[in-house]
Amino acid sequence: MTKKSIARNFLKLAATGHSHEAFELYACKNFKHHNAYFKGDADTLMLAMKESARTNPNKILQIHHVLRDGNLVAVHSHVKQNSTDSGIAVVHIFRFELNKIVELWDLGQPIPQKSINENGMF
């Protein structure tokens, strides 16, 4: 399995309420993340992802781009909490050691109802 497919699978599992499985399959024991709203350990993020999927059971994750540079993989996606939500443009950056995720960054930008940019966010 490639690092790009691991990153995709990790996000798909997490978005659909299977964050425990995502971490068990793909994350390293010394995993850390850099989301400013949560402690930096795997358990905290895993539980937050599980709760997000529980409270938003119709969440939609649409992956647009997956890029790899050495041990880093970046995933550009559109995340919507439900079908009527405008959503957020999100970039997840994964750092790998061998084929395990050891570090994760995520950056998001809400999609405005009206944008002056004719190119869109995707």
Q: Which tokens hold the place of 9? A: 């699978």
Q: Where are the beta strands (DSSP E) in the chain?
A: 27-33, 60-69, 72-80, 88-97, 100-110
- Residue 121 domain-assigned (yes or no): no
| Residue 122 forms part of a structural domain | no
The model's pLDDT over 9-63, given as tens digits with 9 standing for 90+, comes to 999 999 999 999 999 999 999 999 999 999 999 999 999 999 999 999 999 999 9
Instruction: Report the share of the chain in percent with pLDDT over 70.
Output: 100
What total number of domains does the chain contain?
Answer: 1
24: amino acid identity, one letter = E
In a domain, 97, yes or no: yes
Task: Tell if the pTM clears 0.85, that is, is over it.
Answer: yes
Percent of the chain whose predicted confidence (pLDDT) is above 90? 95
Residue 34 lies in a domain: yes
Could you tell me the residue range of the domain that residue 16 belongs to? 3-110
pLDDT of residue 48: 94
Q: How far is CA 28 from the centre of its chain?
A: 16
* Residue 117 domain-assigned (yes or no): no
Residue 116 lies in a domain: no
In a domain, 55, yes or no: yes
* CATH number of the domain encompassing residue 89: 3.10.450.50
